[in-house]
Amino acid sequence: MSESSITHAPADSGVPLQARDFSVKELVVIITGAGQGIGRELARQYAAAGAFPVIADLNLDKAASVVQEIEVAGGQALAVQVDVGDKASVDAMVAQVLKVHGRIDVLINNASIFAALEKCAFDQIPYQQWQKVLHVNITGTYLCVCAVAQAMRDAKFGRIINISSDAVPRGTMNYLHYVTSKSALIGMTNSLARELGPHGITVNCIRPGSVATEVERVANPTVELRQRAAALQCIPRGMLPTDLVGIMLFLATPAASFITGQTIACDGGYTHSS
């Protein structure tokens, strides 16, 4: 695929949108933390829609396994090992993607530390754990954005999607490091949208609810707790990774070129305003 095989010209005012404006076909999409969980499902769905997902994960074996799943289903993908908290590693990942594809259209900042965390009162969080969670979840996102920004500026097109959490508006107890980190991503989204908008790059944030995936959590909620939480939603059922697919695909398309600086809840209506 050549560097110039895709054009990203937005539809002119008054001109009806075409089907291609709602397509992610042939877009190069980096998804961090895509070796499992939400990232894995997003990679599979982007590939099914004709995009070229990059499975960027600390665990290269898991990333390669997702690539194999995608190829068996008839899609294409690239596995790249990356430590999002390490600048040299992130820069090397982006260089590899540019070498293979010649461009980067979409960055999804999905990698974060959460499943391995135990519930803990804020003043009992080990200092080193506090630092690690904020470094990976906030600084890791920042490093990835910095690494792809110039390629997107050069192309005058880019889609950056950050993943926050409904734990932010809920003020979820006993995860202060995680909630703080996901709060920061909302502010980061707002500011980046201002700086990158003039270059044809949109920056948005998705705030999912509690998503059931194959990843086991140290503090896994009981079935009863999940049922109680679901009962408080407008759509009273548990959330699945596929529930994120529609908004995640749309925000990557040319049709979403005028949507930026937004934090969009995708939580079944749990945190909606009355």
Q: Is 267 exposed, middle or buried (0-12, 13-18, 19+ CB in 10 A)?
A: buried
Q: Is 249 exposed, middle or buried (0-12, 13-18, 19+ CB in 10 A)?
A: buried
Look at the block and give the residue holding tokens 């895509």: 34
Task: From residue 248, give the alpha-carbon distance in Å to each of 28, 91, 110, 120.
Answer: 14, 24, 11, 32
Number of other CB atoms surrounding residue 30 within 10 Å? 29
Catalytic residues: 178
One-letter amino acid for residue 97 of the chain: V
Residues 6+ apart with CB under 8 A from 240: 211, 212
Whether the CA torsion 266, 267, 273, 274 is positive or negative: it is positive
Helix (H) or strand (E) holding 203: strand 201-208
Residue 74 zone, left/alpha/beta (φ > 0; ψ -120 to 50; rest): left
